[in-house]
Structure 1
Amino acid sequence: MDKIENNNLVKIGIVVENIEEAARTYSTLFGTELPEIQIPPEEYTPDPTGATYTWYRGKMIPARTKFANLQMGPVTVELLEPYDEDSPWNEFKQKNGTGVHFITYTVNGFEEHIKFVEGKGMPLVHKGEYGSGRYSYFDSIPQLGVTLGLQELGKKTS
Structure 2
Amino acid sequence: MDKNILGNNVITQIGILVHDIEKTSQAYADFFGIDKPDWSMTDTADIAQTEYRKQPTQARVKLAFFDMGSLQLELIEPDHNPSTWREYLNEHGEGPHHIAFVINGMKGKVAMMERNQMPLLQKGEYTGGRYAYMDTFNDLKIILELLEND
Among 82, 87, 91, the residue aligned to 1:86: 82
1: CA distance, partners of 2:140 / 2:96: 12
Matching of residue 100 in structure 1 with residue 102 in structure 2: no
3-state SS in 1 of match to 2:30: helix
Shift of the alpha carbon at 1:114?
0.6
1:14-53 pair list within 5 angstroms = 14-39=16-41, 44=44, 46-47=46-47, 52-53=48-49
Q: CA RMSD in A?
A: 1.6
Give the superposition deviation at 1:34: 0.7
Counterpart AA for 2:30: T
Change in Cα spacing, 1:39 to 1:129, as seen in structure 2 (3 Å) is closer
| 2:80 aligned counterpart, secondary structure | coil
Q: Which whole-Å deviations, capped at 9, do the CAs of 1:14-35 have from their partners, x for residues lacking one?
A: 0011110100000010112211
Inter-partner Cα distance in structure 2 for 1:152 and 1:132: 9
Counterpart of 1:128 in structure 2 is: 124
Match of 1:75? 71
Any gaps of 5 or more consecutive residues in structure 2? none
TM-score (norm 1): 0.87
In structure 1, the gaps of 5 or more residues are: none
Deviation at 1:92, TM superposition (A): 0.4
Runs of 4+ in 1 over 3 A off after TM superposition: none
Taking the aligned partners of 1:21 and 1:108, their CA distance within structure 2 comes to: 35
**Whole-angstrom CA distance in 2 between matches of 1:34 and 1:138:** 30
TM-aligned CA deviation for residue 45 of structure 1: 5.7
Q: Deviations over 1:8-62 (max 9, x none)?
A: 0001110011110100000010112211111358xx4624xxxx41111111112
2-structure distance, mates of 1:141, 1:134: 21
| 2:94 alignment partner AA | T
Amino acid at match of 2:46: P
2:108 aligned with 1:112: yes
Alpha carbons 1:53, 1:130 under 8 Å: kept = no
CA deviation map 1:103-155 (0-9, x unaligned): 0000111111111111211101111122410110011111111101111101x
CA distance in 1, matches of 2:148, 2:35: 27
